[in-house]
Structure 1
Amino acid sequence: MNKSEALIRLVDDDASLLFSTQIYLQTMGWKVVAYDSPGKFLRSDDLDVPGCLVLDFRMPNFTGLEVQQIMIERGYKHFPIIFLSGHGDIEMAVNAMAKGAVTFLEKPADPERLNAEVEKAVELGFSRSRRAKERLELKRRYSHLTAREKEVLHLVVNGLTNKEIGDKLGLSLATVKMHRGHAAEKLELSSVAEITRALILIQEEDQQDA
């Protein structure tokens, strides 16, 4: 992980805490931008820049959960969020984590603990980004398969032999091999293990979008 590629966002209406947290994380080598209101963050920030969000839970006009929900609606469901709260509300924490938050820390957070959680959140964000790009590319390739090629491929990953697929679909062995070969070529994959992983990733994206 390269810290210079990540941007840490801080959103907190407590000006002194916001300033001290920003200075501390900057001394730890992070690029940091601070917002004293959720509105400024939601209007100004470019969430396509990787990193994470350190978000106060209770603020005027917006709660942390409301900010999280807006991010989800804008297509940033998996952007890493670290919630901070001085209230220790377990139910809030459960709701936040269920929607994808990385962790929930009580204010004032221990600086070393916060830095450690930021490192984990940023690494998770990069990992999610790589996985999302891979899913997008696999889905693009998968869209080029014919309905029959997709049908044959799903039977392959379910463990059926070419002969069993032919018997099930009423196709000759040569035709099954042809569809299987074309599907693998379009996906740019060869082994059953690679194809199985690709289909799992594609289905994972569909389930998350549902």
Structure 2
Amino acid sequence: MLSRTAASPQSQEDQESRVVYIVDDEELVRGALGSLLRSIDLEVRAFATTEEFLAAPRAGGPSCLVLDVRLRGQSGLALQQSLLQLDLPSIPIIFMTGHGDIAMTVKAMKAGAVDFLSKPFRDQDMIDAVTAALDNDAKRLKVRRMLGELRDNWNSLTPREREVVQHVATGLMNKQIAANMGIAEITAKIHRGQAMRKMNSRSVAELVRKMEALGVVQNLT
């Protein structure tokens, strides 16, 4: 059992449960893995088939999938390919198998698997793999949320404010922006200030970085 530390302010990602999905057709394996991962305070949802996993509701926070390669019915590798076509293409997958080979490992890794453990594996190896996968998924979700907030901020700009900041991104001053747009310099300054506030940007450099992250920087020269 991992030791607990004093509570500290938590982000939304920290407050959400970290969920580990397990798909293995052996009940003993599901039970043993579930006990192991719950011992480090993780939420575990175990399934005997890929169909059960696909039909189950998804967690909103960080998650990963511990998946047996060889299953009755659809194989783990086939499920990995299916997920690329569905709503969970980014869930980190840790494969486990008692009959793995190099070709199988290469195929799984090329399709995005984060780890491949051969049975029997050490408990610590599984814990390390799951912890790393959940940390990476938490980072991915954080970036996605940040981009979502940026899109909301950008969508709150008026068409004129967007036009002004596009010129700001090219390095133009208020006077030059006003001349290009055929408006008064004070109007350009007001639009610029409002846009900076809505985008939560304290500098032009910060504003440009956010616009680049959104892919909305245009070449106006």
> TM-score band (shorter)?
0.7 to 0.9
**Aligned 8 A contact 1:53 1:82 in 2:** yes
| 1:80 aligned residue (81, 92, 106) | 92
Percent identical pairs in the alignment equals 28
**Aligned AA for 2:18?**
A
Distance 1:52 1:90, change over 3 A: closer
Distance 1:122 1:15, change over 3 A: same
Distance 1:139 1:3, change over 3 A: closer
Find the counterpart in structure 2 of residue 139 from structure 1: 151
Find the counterpart in structure 2 of residue 15 from structure 1: 27
Q: Does 1:24 align with 2:36?
A: yes
- Gaps of at least 5 residues in structure 1 are 205-210
Distance 1:70 1:45, change over 3 A: farther
**Aligned 8 A contact 1:162 1:177 in 2:** no
> Matches of 1:167 and 1:173 in 2, distance apart?
6
**Aligned 8 A contact 1:12 1:37 in 2:** yes
Find the counterpart in structure 2 of residue 208 from structure 1: none
Q: Does 1:59 align with 2:42?
A: no
Find the counterpart in structure 1 of residue 173 from structure 2: 162
Question: Mean Cα displacement is larger for which, 25-34 or 57-66?
Answer: 57-66
Q: Does 1:197 align with 2:209?
A: yes
Find the counterpart in structure 1 of residue 6 from structure 2: none
> Matches of 1:49 and 1:102 in 2, distance apart?
18
- Gaps of at least 5 residues in structure 2 are 1-12, 217-221
**Aligned 8 A contact 1:3 1:29 in 2:** no
The DSSP-based 3-state class of the residue aligned with 1:62 is coil
Larger Rg: 2
**Aligned 8 A contact 2:20 2:63 in 1:** yes
Q: Shift of the alpha carbon at 1:128? A: 1.9
Question: Mean Cα displacement is larger for which, 30-39 or 68-77?
Answer: 68-77
Distance 1:154 1:54, change over 3 A: farther
> Matches of 1:161 and 1:198 in 2, distance apart?
18
How many matched pairs?
200
Runs (4+) of structure 1 exceeding 4 A deviation are 1-4, 170-173
Q: Shift of the alpha carbon at 1:38? A: 0.8
**Aligned 8 A contact 2:17 2:42 in 1:** no
> Matches of 2:78 and 2:48 in 1, distance apart?
16
**Aligned 8 A contact 1:35 1:41 in 2:** yes
